[in-house]
Structure 1
Amino acid sequence: MNTTTVITHQPVAPAPVVVKITERDWSTSLCGCFDDMASCMYGMACAPCFACKVSSKAGENCCAPCCVPGAMIAIRMKVRTRLHIRGSLCSDCIIDSCCGPCSACQLSREIDNSCNGHLM
């Protein structure tokens, strides 16, 4: 004996959950070197070494800034996106291209202030 089941009402999927994430500003300004003089001096004295340190703090390979063109722009965008900071790829590119050491210092301060030194 065969039994046939007829579905008369389709199940309704639950409504999607929408989460609004508020973007914020950077915790320090681009030229906020007085907020962390040691990093500022390190960043200005040896920008490539400091960029490697910032890259590691952001969870990327420390060689990326030296070996990959535009790596610091990508790292800035990663940090900004993960921490919900206002900005755009265009602004990241302009800031890093015009003032790379200041950008790296700001990234370092942001990771220290928001993530206890390491971006997860």
Structure 2
Amino acid sequence: MELYKWSAQATGLGCYAYFCWCCFLGSLAEDINESKTSCCCISNILAVYRMKVRATLKIRGDSFSDACVVCWCPFCAGLQMRNELRNRGLA
């Protein structure tokens, strides 16, 4: 099975994500068929979202790297996931 790299950068939608983080997470949750109410525990749930997106889209990586990215810059991780889904026509 071939694994891909992330094709999206953590850019675009920055104002929306920055000024309305809960709304942004809610729309990201909808895109990956998760509950909108799960944005209460941001760092944990964002790592889970990243693992789900990576597994679904067959992107290289592991759980540890997902957790590290989310821990160091959750904003960037969220934007990258959203942009990846949009680039592939899934959001």
1:113 Cα offset (Å): 1.2
* Structure with greater helix share of residues: 2
1:62 Cα offset (Å): 0.8
Residue type matched to 2:50 in 1? R
Identity among equivalent pairs (%): 27
Whether 1:28 aligns to 2:8 is yes
Q: Indicate the residue corresponding to 2:22 in structure 1.
A: 48
Q: Indicate the residue corresponding to 1:18 in structure 2.
A: none
Residue type matched to 2:8 in 1? T
TM-score of the superposition, structure 1-length normalised? 0.69
The alignment's C-alpha RMSD in Å is 1.6
TM-score of the superposition, structure 2-length normalised? 0.89
Residue type matched to 2:6 in 1? W
How many residue pairs match? The answer is 91
Q: Moved runs in structure 1, 4+ residues, more than 4 A?
A: none
CA deviations on 1:30-56 (whole Å, 9 max, x unpaired) are x4x1xx2xx111112222221111111
Residue type matched to 1:70 in 2? N
1:68 Cα offset (Å): 7.0
What are the ranges of 5 or more consecutive residues in structure 2 without an aligned counterpart? none
1:116 is paired with a residue whose SS is coil
1:27 is paired with a residue whose SS is coil
What are the ranges of 5 or more consecutive residues in structure 1 without an aligned counterpart? 1-20
Q: Distance in 2 between matches of 1:52 and 1:94?
A: 22
